[in-house]
C-alpha cells in the first residue's frame, strides 16, 4: 500500500514539476496580443465572438470561407468562443488558456514517460518538452491552440491504452476513453487521425521484450478497440464531407507551383527534412514563416535534398538496428514520422511546406530520446549525459523566453521575420501593406510587385493585388493579376467574380460573360455570378436576359435576397417590357422591406409606361 502511495506521489511530483516549469518558461506569452493568423481566425471572425452561434460554429470551416482552407476544427473554434465569452475578447484570457493547455500536455507527457522510464529519466524528458523553443508558435500564438488540444487528447488516449495493454486486456472503460479522446483529437486538429498508428507504436517495447504474446492473441485483444477507432474515423470523414464538401482536402494553393506532382513535393520536402532535425534537436533560430523564397519548391534532387534523404535513411536504419536493444528509440522515431505524415505533403498537398507549430506533437520524440539516453548511459557517463541535457534545457529555455514576445502582434512577427528572411515574399507583401496604411499607394504597389516577382504563384496575393489595382483605377494590370489568380486558383468563386467585375469596368461585357461561364464550370452555380451576368446583359441592352439572370441570382440567394435585389429585378423587367412580372417583383420588394418611396417611384413609372402603351 505504501509503495502504491509513494508511486502516486512521485507521479504527481514529476508531472506537477514539469507543468510548473512549462508555465514559468512560457509565462511572458501572457503579455501577447493577437498576432498573425489570430486576426483572421479569431479577431475578425464574428462566429467565435461568444456562445450565441454554437450550432453554426460546429458546422463551419475553420478559416473564413473566402480562404477555402479545407480545415474543420470545431472543438478548437468552440474553445475560442468560450474564451471570448469569458474574457470579452481580451487576448490575455486566450493566452492563459494556451499556457494552461501546454502545462497539461507536458504533465500528460511526463506521466506517459513514467510508464517506460524511471522517474528521473521521465522528469528529464518532461523538462525537455516543457521548455522546447519549437513550441513557441503553438503556445504563444492563439491559433496554436489546435496543436495543444489535439496533443492533449492524443496523450490521454495513449495513457489509457498503455495502462490497459500492460494489464493484458482492454476494458470497455478504456475503449470508451480512447475512442472519445480520438474523436476530440480529430475535431481539434487533423493530425489526430494518426492516433491508431501511435497506439501500435507504443506496443513496440512490449513486443521487443516478448510480453505481447502470439499474433492471434494480440489481434484478438486489439480488434474491438481498432474497430471502434475505425468507426470514429469514418464518422469524422462523413462529417467533414458534409461541412466541406469533401472528406479529404488537398490544399496546394500554389505552394508547389507550377508543378504540384509527387516528385516535386518529394524533392521539396527532402530539403525540409534537415530543418526538421535542426528545429527538434538544436532550435537556435526560429522563424514564423517558411514560404517562398525562404524555402522554394524543387523539381529535382538538390544537395540539401540529398542530405535530407541521407538523414532520414540513417535514422530509419538506426531505429531498425536498435529495435531489440532500445525499442523506445524505434518508438520515438516512428512517433515523429507518423505525426509528421499529415503535413509531409507526400500523401496530399498541404498549404505549407513547414510550420513550427506542426512540430508540437512530433517533438515528443525528442523527450523520449532524452530520457532514453539518460537511462542507457553507463553509470560513469550518466552525469555527463545529465549535464548535457541540463545545458540544453537552460540554454533553450532562454531561447524560448526571448522568442515568446515575438508573437506580441503582427507587427512584431513581421519585423522579426524581415530581419531573418528579407527574401520572403510574405515579408515583401507585408511591407506593401505597411506602406498602404501610410497612404503611400505608389510605394505599396512596388512592394506588392516585388512580392509577386519572388513568388508569382499565390492566388491570394494575386487577387488581393488585383482588388487594390481596381480600386485605384489601374484596370489593365488589375485584369492581368485577376486572370492569373483564376488560372492558379480556379476553384475559388471570388477569383472568377473579381475578374468579371474588372472586365465589366473595362467595358468588356462579352469577356465578363466568358469568365462567368468558366466560373460555373469550375465551382458551380453562384448567386454572385448571376448578378454580374445581369449587369453584363443590361450593359448590352439585353434586358430580358438580364432579368432572367437577376431572378436566378435571387433564387440562389434564398433568404439572403434583399429588397434592393427585387427592385433591380423589377427595373430590368420594366426595361424588358415585362410589366406583369415587374409588378410581382415590386410586391416582393415591398414584402422584403423596401421603403415606400422606392416602391411608389417605380409604381408610378410602371403606370406611366402602361398608359403610354395604351
Mean pLDDT over all residues of the chain? Answer: 91
Among 407, 441, 473, the domain-final residue is 407
Report the distance separating Cα 13 and Cα 505, nearest Å: 69
The answer to whether residue 480 scores a pLDDT higher than 70 is yes
pLDDT above 70 covers a percentage of the chain that reads 93
Residue 208 has a pLDDT of: 76
Residue 213 has a pLDDT of: 65
Average pLDDT over residues 540-546: 93
Asked if residues 423 and 294 have their Cβ atoms less than 8 Å apart, the reply is: yes
Which pLDDT band, with edges at 50, 70 and 90, does 202 fall under?
A: very high
> Dihedral of CA 437/438/441/444: which sign?
negative
400 within a domain of the structure (yes/no): yes
Which pLDDT band, with edges at 50, 70 and 90, does 69 fall under?
A: confident
Domain tally for the chain? 2
Asked if residues 435 and 318 have their Cβ atoms less than 8 Å apart, the reply is: no
Which pLDDT band, with edges at 50, 70 and 90, does 170 fall under?
A: confident
424 within a domain of the structure (yes/no): no
The answer to whether residue 251 scores a pLDDT higher than 90 is no
Same domain, 221 and 367: yes
Residue 467 has a pLDDT of: 96
pLDDT above 90 covers a percentage of the chain that reads 72
Return the CATH number at 584: 1.25.40.10
Domain ranges, residue 276: 2-407
Residue 156 has a pLDDT of: 97
The answer to whether residue 1 scores a pLDDT higher than 60 is no
DSSP letters spanning 245-285: SSSS----TTTTTT--SHHHHHHHHHHHHHHHHHHHH---S
Average pLDDT over residues 347-371: 92
What confidence tens digit (pLDDT) does each residue in 321-340 have? 999 899 999 999 999 999 99
Which pLDDT band, with edges at 50, 70 and 90, does 82 fall under?
A: very high
Asked if residues 327 and 204 have their Cβ atoms less than 8 Å apart, the reply is: yes
Going from the C-alpha of 230 to that of each of 99, 182, 193, 226, 404, the distances in angstroms are: 32, 10, 10, 6, 39
The answer to whether residue 233 scores a pLDDT higher than 90 is yes
Average pLDDT over residues 397-426: 95
489 within a domain of the structure (yes/no): no
Which pLDDT band, with edges at 50, 70 and 90, does 462 fall under?
A: very high
The answer to whether residue 613 scores a pLDDT higher than 60 is no
The answer to whether residue 30 scores a pLDDT higher than 80 is yes
Residue 567 has a pLDDT of: 84
Asked if residues 129 and 389 have their Cβ atoms less than 8 Å apart, the reply is: no
What confidence tens digit (pLDDT) does each residue in 99-154 have? 999 999 999 999 999 999 999 999 999 999 999 999 999 999 999 999 999 999 99
Same domain, 388 and 532: no
Residue 608 has a pLDDT of: 58
Going from the C-alpha of 120 to that of each of 6, 348, 371, 501, the distances in angstroms are: 15, 41, 8, 66
Among 386, 407, 428, the domain-final residue is 407
495 within a domain of the structure (yes/no): no
The answer to whether residue 582 scores a pLDDT higher than 90 is no
Average pLDDT over residues 348-361: 90
**Cα–Cα nearest to 218, from 229, 234, 207, 232:** 207
479 within a domain of the structure (yes/no): no
**Lowest mean pLDDT, pick from 125-139, 436-450, 588-602:** 588-602
Among 407, 430, 464, the domain-final residue is 407
Which residue's entry shows cell 477555402? 68
162 within a domain of the structure (yes/no): yes
Same domain, 160 and 31: yes
Report the distance separating Cα 566 and Cα 592, nearest Å: 8
Q: Which long-range contacts (CB under 8 A, 24 or more apart) does 277-282 make?
A: 277/311, 279/134, 279/356, 279/359, 280/134, 280/336, 280/359, 280/362, 280/363, 280/365, 280/366, 281/366
3-class SS at 306?
helix
252 within a domain of the structure (yes/no): yes
450 within a domain of the structure (yes/no): no
Comparison of pLDDT for 293 and 194, the residue scoring more:
194
Comparison of pLDDT for 28 and 350, the residue scoring more:
28
Comparison of pLDDT for 38 and 595, the residue scoring more:
38
Amino acid at each position: 500500500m505504501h509503495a502504491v502511495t509513494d508511486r502516486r506521489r512521485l507521479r504527481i511530483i514529476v508531472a506537477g514539476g514539469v507543468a510548473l516549469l512549462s508555465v514559468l518558461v512560457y509565462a511572458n506569452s501572457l503579455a501577447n496580443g493577437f498576432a498573425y493568423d489570430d486576426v483572421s481566425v479569431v479577431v475578425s471572425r464574428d462566429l467565435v465572438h461568444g456562445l450565441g452561434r454554437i450550432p453554426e460554429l460546429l458546422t463551419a470551416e475553420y478559416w473564413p470561407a473566402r480562404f477555402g482552407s479545407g480545415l474543420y476544427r470545431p472543438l478548437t473554434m468552440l474553445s475560442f468562443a468560450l474564451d471570448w465569452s469569458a474574457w470579452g475578447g481580451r487576448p490575455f484570457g486566450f493566452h492563459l488558456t494556451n499556457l494552461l493547455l501546454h502545462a497539461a500536455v507536458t504533465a500528460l507527457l511526463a506521466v506517459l514517460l513514467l510508464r517506460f522510464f524511471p522517474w528521473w529519466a521521465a522528469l528529464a524528458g518532461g523538462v525537455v518538452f516543457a521548455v522546447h523553443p519549437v513550441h513557441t508558435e503553438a503556445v504563444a500564438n492563439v491559433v496554436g491552440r489546435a496543436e495543444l488540444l489535439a496533443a492533449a487528447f492524443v496523450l490521454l488516449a495513449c495513457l489509457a491504452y498503455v495502462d490497459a495493454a500492460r494489464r493484458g486486456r482492454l476494458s470497455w472503460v478504456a475503449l470508451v476513453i480512447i475512442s472519445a479522446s480520438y474523436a476530440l483529437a480529430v475535431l481539434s486538429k487533423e493530425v489526430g487521425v494518426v492516433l491508431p498508428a501511435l497506439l501500435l507504436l507504443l506496443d513496440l517495447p512490449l513486443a521487443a521484450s516478448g510480453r505481447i504474446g502470439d499474433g492471434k492473441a494480440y489481434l484478438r485483444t486489439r480488434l474491438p478497440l481498432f474497430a471502434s477507432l475505425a468507426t470514429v474515423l469514418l464518422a469524422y470523414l462523413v462529417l467533414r464531407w458534409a461541412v466541406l464538401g469533401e472528406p479529404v482536402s488537398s490544399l496546394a494553393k500554389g505552394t508547389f507551383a507550377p508543378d504540384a506532382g509527387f516528385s516535386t513535393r518529394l524533392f521539396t520536402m527532402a530539403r525540409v527534412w534537415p530543418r526538421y532535425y535542426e528545429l527538434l534537436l538544436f532550435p537556435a533560430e526560429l522563424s514564423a514563416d517558411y514560404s517562398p523564397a525562404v524555402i522554394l519548391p524543387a523539381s529535382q534532387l538538390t544537395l540539401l535534398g540529398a542530405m535530407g534523404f541521407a538523414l532520414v535513411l540513417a535514422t530509419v536504419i538506426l531505429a531498425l538496428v536498435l529495435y531489440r536493444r532500445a525499442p523506445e528509440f524505434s518508438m520515438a522515431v516512428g512517433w515523429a514520422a507518423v505525426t509528421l505524415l499529415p503535413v509531409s505533403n507526400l500523401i496530399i498537398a498541404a498549404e505549407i511546406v513547414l510550420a513550427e507549430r506542426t512540430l508540437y506533437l512530433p517533438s515528443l520524440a525528442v523527450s523520449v530520446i532524452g530520457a532514453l539516453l539518460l537511462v542507457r548511459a553507463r553509470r560513469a557517463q550518466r552525469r555527463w549525459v545529465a549535464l548535457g541535457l541540463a545545458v540544453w534545457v537552460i540554454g533553450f529555455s532562454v531561447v524560448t523566453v526571448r522568442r515568446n514576445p515575438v508573437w506580441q502582434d503582427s507587427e512584431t512577427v513581421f519585423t522579426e521575420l524581415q530581419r531573418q528572411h528579407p527574401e520572403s515574399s510574405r515579408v515583401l507583401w507585408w511591407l506593401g501593406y505597411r506602406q498602404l496604411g501610410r497612404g503611400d499607394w505608389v510605394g505599396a504597389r512596388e512592394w506588392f510587385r516585388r512580392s509577386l516577382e519572388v513568388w508569382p504563384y499565390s492566388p491570394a496575393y494575386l487577387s488581393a493585388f488585383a482588388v487594390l489595382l481596381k480600386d485605384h483605377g489601374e484596370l489593365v494590370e488589375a485584369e492581368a493579376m485577376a486572370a492569373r489568380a483564376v488560372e492558379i486558383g480556379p476553384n475559388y468563386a471570388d477569383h472568377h467574380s473579381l475578374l468579371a467585375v474588372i472586365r465589366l469596368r473595362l467595358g468588356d461585357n462579352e469577356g465578363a460573360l466568358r469568365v462567368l461561364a468558366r466560373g460555373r464550370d469550375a465551382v458551380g452555380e453562384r448567386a454572385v455570378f448571376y448578378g454580374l451576368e445581369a449587369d453584363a446583359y443590361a450593359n448590352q441592352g439585353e434586358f430580358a436576359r438580364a432579368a432572367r439572370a437577376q431572378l436566378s441570382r435571387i433564387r440562389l440567394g434564398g433568404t439572403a435576397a434583399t429588397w434592393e435585389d427585387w427592385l433591380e429585378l423589377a427595373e430590368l423587367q420594366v426595361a424588358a417590357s415585362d410589366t406583369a412580372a415587374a409588378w410581382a417583383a415590386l410586391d416582393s420588394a415591398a414584402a422584403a422591406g423596401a421603403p415606400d418611396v422606392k416602391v411608389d417611384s417605380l409604381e408610378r413609372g410602371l403606370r406611366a409606361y402602361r398608359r403610354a402603351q395604351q
